[in-house]
Homo-oligomer: A and B are copies of this chain.
């Protein structure tokens, strides 16, 4: 019998381990953890304003300026003027250095391919659904704090 708490423990262990992997990858690219997190969010969400990113991550706006300075200097993003609001800035992710990231995650990607190969389509659907639900739950739990 698989207890609920054992799955909770497994989830914690997974996120902790992935966090360590991310930290190692980030280190190779001169990306601090907070920079890497912001970069991921930008690349997923598309162009967005610094203030929105600061709200999302809970960082101070002044801190966000520093984060974006580093990301811009590293060639990860570009700052653009928002055509609709001349006060605002749009942060656009640049694709130039994406291959470096892909390369560093190649081992993990390959391992994951191997794991998923052994599951049936139904099982994969189950896994995807579970992951999605947990992600939503985490977002809700954070917002209701």
Contacts and interface: CB of A to CB of B under 8 A. Distances in A.
Copies of this chain, complex-wide, total 2
A52 to B, nearest CB: 14
Contacts of A134: 14, 112, 115
Interface residues of A, number: 66
A144 interface: yes
Contact of A6 (B10, B128, B144, B145): B128
Contact of A130 (B24, B113, B115, B144): B115
A16 B40 CA distance: 8
A125 B7 CA distance: 9
A116 B16 contact: no
A97 to B, nearest CB: 17
A27 interface: yes
Given A40-B12, A128-B6, A137-B115, A19 B19 contact: yes
A104 B7 contact: no
B7 A138 contact: no
Given A16-B37, A107-B144, A137 B121 contact: no
Interface of A: 1-2, 4, 6-8, 10-25, 27-28, 33-34, 37, 40-41, 44, 56-58, 104-105, 107-109, 111-113, 115-117, 119, 121, 123-128, 130-135, 137-142, 144-145
